Amino acid sequence: MTASDFFGSLFITFGPLASAFYFGVAYRAYLTVVSVAAGCFWLLGSMVATLFWLAVVPLRDSIFWTSIVYSASLELARMALFWGIMKGEKLTRVRRERILSEENMLIDLTVGVSFAVMSALATQGPLIDLAMGPGTIYTEHCNSMSIFWSASLQSFMMSICHIAWSFLAWRAYHARRRFSVALAFALHILAAIFSSLSALSNGCVPSLLCMSVLTIVSVVAAYRPVRKSIPSRVTLARLDT
Amino acid sequence: TFEHNREEGKALPLVAVSRGGDLHCNTLGMSSRDEVDALVAGSDGANAQDEMGGRRPTLDAEAPVEYTAKHVTSILKPVIITMSLVIWLVRNLGRNTAEEQSYSALMVYREQESDATGTRLFGSLLNALIFVGAIMGFTFVFVLLYKYRCVKIIYGWLTLSVLMLLGGSGFYMFYSLAIHFAIPIDQFTFFFVLYNFAVVGALSVFWHAPSMVRQGYLVAVSVIMAWVLTKLPEWTNWALLCALALYDLFAVLSPCGPLKALVEMSQERNEPIPGLVYEADAPAQRRTNPSAGAVLVTMTLLAGEGPDNGRESRVSMSSVKSDPSQSGRYANESDHLPMGATEDEGEMYDIEDDYEDDDEARGIKLGIGDFVFYSVLIGRAAANDITTVISCFIAVIGGLVGTLFLLAVAQKALPALPISIFMGMVAYFIAVFGTTPMMAVISQVGAAA
């Protein structure tokens, strides 16, 4: 693998995430702490999925079911994180500041970025290790592009989806909208299925196309609740006067 | 709208535009309209204009939560740097195969690949108990020295330990790096640089030095010690981590714990706890709420207000392990040293006294032993694949943050090691036996999840 291929795929995977973290999260210390907490809950979801995967032996041979179980577990972890943050806010008696309140969408972004970073590291990490050695690896199912490129493009789109699902899910948790919660869940499962299409013969290109569509759908689905959460100009004008 | 919504505990939403122009929402509880006006007037001096040209109230809210979080992140940074360096060292200098293992003089059991599981388990537990026993013994000696004010002996002991660690184990590490990366260097230059590195390190830690140099050397001490400890046999390593986490619980929470006695003595004397501690830089923002200082805690720290209304920096203590020998033999000691001298002690001077006054908060402190054992766990994980490393990394950092959070809730001294070590170990074993093969199934076709 050439150096340009390596760095190119690395930047495609982690470049947007690094930017989102640096410009959106790192400038506030409490967001960094929240991102660590989100990482821990991601880890918890990953461990739950692992234990389930180990317990149910037939799962181990199916990439579809493995991805679905993993995605479902992450969504449950996201829900648990929301509950945990609310409880933590009450326990530490920071209600006066209400940093972790409904209006603070930076928390949504932080959770999304954190989940995206962890998922990217977990799925791309083993490949980065392989990339250090000589040669370029292609899979028999997808010989039109190297595994590094297809994986990096998949990770890139999945990262955007994680951020969008985070906004969608957290707005829904605050407003207790079950449909939106279910929608976030369903979109994540679908993404896992579409991503797993790479395992089919010549499946990497259809997988990437489906993931692209799903990414756009996820962003659109997240836009409405986010837009609703921003106070209107009328409210701002009243505050001003 | 403000008056109408003024209810007990209900927050008033405010939208603020920060100086950089990015929009973020924040919510504050206000008790009167005057506070809102005062806050707006006290902002950065301008009402921001939105894209439609209307005026919005601006807000410069440096809440206590943000200030506390800055303290937390100020201690997370060196921990992350230390663990990252240990990962890099372990992955470059060998993954601790059976041929590369080292042994300590304290170990009665020498692990062999051919040993049965039960033999390994029993032998490693025995090794761990001996290590912890030695640490306990040295800690009691240290407490006695501190009790009878034998400060010079403490200083000498710790200075010698750090010198031996930087010079002895440091030699071993730098020599291995030079061999691995084929660095062309002659012996005279190597030993000249090493000598200066060790001496300057000892002076920086215990005498005059800019804060960054001292912090750098403390990180170096932690990295070297952690790397050396990861070369112990695998089962002994894990048993040692478990045993130390349990010992930490006893030492801090038990009424007869040596560390608890040390803390109480230092409180009575109104002196900083002696020990090799890393002090992070305090955030620039002044603390607006003195009671928030109660949560600005370090490992095994004291909750509640100090004698000076909580502005006294919280101290940490931990045992640090030093290696006085060069041949891979180890002696575990509890090394403590008074970190900062008072004005009465002319021999030692903490340069940070220059920056201390009643109005400025001090940085959070963390014992070097905590750095070391977090890094030992991560170093163990680094001998496996990257998924294990990531899992353990997040688990340890999360445990550290969780410990600080629990401290804020419990408001009493808590040990630093148990939560992080427990979470790290659980993450390690699940990752090795489950997550890695599961991720391999997903990533082998280039999928993401």
What pLDDT band is residue A71 in, cutting at 50, 70 and 90? very high
Q: Express as a percent the part of chain B with pLDDT over 70.
A: 65
Please give the structure tokens belonging to residue A194: 């579409």
Per-residue pLDDT of A94-113, as tens digits, reads 555 555 666 678 889 999 99
What pLDDT band is residue B103 in, cutting at 50, 70 and 90? low
CB contact under 8 A, B52 and A147: no
A235 CB neighbours in chain B (<8 A) are 1
Distance from CA of A178 to the nearest CA of B (A): 23
Lowest mean pLDDT among A154-158, B5-9, B121-125, B198-202: B5-9
Q: What is the mean pLDDT of residues A163-190?
A: 91
| Active-site residue list of B | 248, 370
Q: Express as a percent the part of chain A with pLDDT over 90.
A: 43
Lowest mean pLDDT among A6-20, A79-93, B32-46: B32-46
Residue A238: the pLDDT is: 52
Chain B interface includes A13 (CB < 8 A): no
CB contact under 8 A, A207 and B386: no
Partner residue opposite B26 with nearest CB, options A53, A103, A238? A103
CB contact under 8 A, A231 and B15: yes
Decide: pTM greater than 0.95.
no
Residue in this structure with the two tokens 């030993």, named with its chain if needed: B191
Distance from CA of B373 to the nearest CA of A (A): 20
Partner residue opposite B435 with nearest CB, options A46, A60, A74? A46
Per-residue pLDDT of B323-360, as tens digits, reads 333 333 333 333 333 333 333 333 333 333 333 444 44
Q: Does position B429 have pLDDT exceeding 90, yes or no?
A: yes
Provide the ipTM: 0.89
Q: Does position B230 have pLDDT exceeding 70, yes or no?
A: yes
Distance from CA of A99 to the nearest CA of B (A): 7
CB contact under 8 A, B446 and A139: yes
CB contact under 8 A, B442 and A105: no
Partner residue opposite B447 with nearest CB, options A63, A120, A239? A63
Residue B349: the pLDDT is: 34
Residue B192: the pLDDT is: 96
Question: Which of A 80-139 lie inside 8 A of B, CB atoms?
Answer: 88, 91-92, 94-99, 101-106, 118-129, 139
Higher pLDDT among residues A231 and B45, named by residue = A231
CB contact under 8 A, A157 and B440: no
Residue B200: the pLDDT is: 95
Residue B295's Cβ-count burial label (10 Å; 0-12, 13-18, 19+) is buried
Please give the structure tokens belonging to residue B140: 């009691």
Q: Report which residue type is found at A62.
A: S
Q: How many CA atoms lie within 13 A of A132 on its CB side?
A: 7
Please give the structure tokens belonging to residue B234: 């695998």
Residue B63: the pLDDT is: 60
How many Cβ atoms from other residues are within 10 Å of residue B274's Cβ?
25
* CA distance between the termini of chain B: 45
CB contact under 8 A, B401 and A158: no
Hey, which residues does B12 pair with through a beta bridge? B28
Lowest mean pLDDT among A226-230, B65-69, B117-121: A226-230
Q: Does position A5 have pLDDT exceeding 70, yes or no?
A: yes
Q: What is the mean pLDDT of residues A21-34?
A: 89
B445 CB neighbours in chain A (<8 A) are 63, 139, 141-142, 147, 196, 198-199
**Mutation site for A-interface testing, chosen from B24, B31, B445 by largest number of A Cβ within 10 Å:** B445
What pLDDT band is residue B370 in, cutting at 50, 70 and 90? very high
Dihedral sign for Cα atoms in the order A197, A200, A206, A209: positive
Q: Does position B261 have pLDDT exceeding 60, yes or no?
A: yes
Residue B50: the pLDDT is: 41
Higher pLDDT among residues A216 and A144, named by residue = A216
Q: Does position B43 have pLDDT exceeding 50, yes or no?
A: no
Distance from CA of B408 to the nearest CA of A (A): 7
Per-residue pLDDT of B231-258, as tens digits, reads 888 899 999 999 999 999 888 888 888 8
CB contact under 8 A, B442 and A67: yes
Higher pLDDT among residues B335 and B196, named by residue = B196
- Closest-approach residue (CA) in chain B for A33: B69
Q: What is the mean pLDDT of residues B387-407?
A: 91
A73 CB neighbours in chain B (<8 A) are none
Distance from CA of A25 to the nearest CA of B (A): 12
Q: Does position A13 have pLDDT exceeding 60, yes or no?
A: yes
**Mutation site for B-interface testing, chosen from A10, A22, A36, A56 by largest number of B Cβ within 10 Å:** A36
Q: What is the mean pLDDT of residues B398-403?
A: 92
B295 CB neighbours in chain A (<8 A) are 92
CB contact under 8 A, A60 and B437: yes
Distance from CA of B17 to the nearest CA of A (A): 12
What pLDDT band is residue B49 in, cutting at 50, 70 and 90? very low
Lowest mean pLDDT among A55-69, A214-228, B104-118: B104-118
Chain B interface includes A154 (CB < 8 A): yes
- Closest-approach residue (CA) in chain A for B68: A30
Distance from CA of B257 to the nearest CA of A (A): 28
Residue in this structure with the two tokens 């990217």, named with its chain if needed: A120
What pLDDT band is residue B186 in, cutting at 50, 70 and 90? very high
Task: Report the candidate in B167, B332, B447 with the shortest Cα–Cα distance to residue A126.
Answer: B447
Contact B438, A70 (CB under 8 A): yes
Question: Which of A 29-88 lie inside 8 A of B, CB atoms?
Answer: 29-30, 32-33, 36-37, 39-40, 42-43, 46-47, 49-51, 53-54, 60, 63, 66-67, 70-71, 74, 88
Q: What is the mean pLDDT of chain B?
A: 72
Q: Express as a percent the part of chain B with pLDDT over 90.
A: 33
Per-residue pLDDT of B288-331, as tens digits, reads 444 333 333 333 333 333 333 333 333 333 333 333 333 333 33
CA A13: distance to chain centroid?
Answer: 12
Residue A196: the pLDDT is: 87
- Closest-approach residue (CA) in chain A for B61: A97
Hey, which residues does B24 pair with through a beta bridge? B16
Higher pLDDT among residues B375 and B36, named by residue = B375
Residue A232: the pLDDT is: 56
Residue B104: the pLDDT is: 66
Contacts for B73 with CB less than 8 Å, ≥ 6 apart: A29, A32, A33
**Cα–Cα dist B243/B46, whole Å:** 58
Q: What is the mean pLDDT of residues A157-180?
A: 91
**Cα–Cα dist B128/B138, whole Å:** 15
Residue in this structure with the two tokens 């100086």, named with its chain if needed: B19
CB contact under 8 A, B394 and A98: no
Q: Does position B151 have pLDDT exceeding 70, yes or no?
A: yes
What pLDDT band is residue B27 in, cutting at 50, 70 and 90? very low
Q: What is the mean pLDDT of residues B51-72?
A: 57
A89 CB neighbours in chain B (<8 A) are none
Q: What is the mean pLDDT of residues A136-165?
A: 86
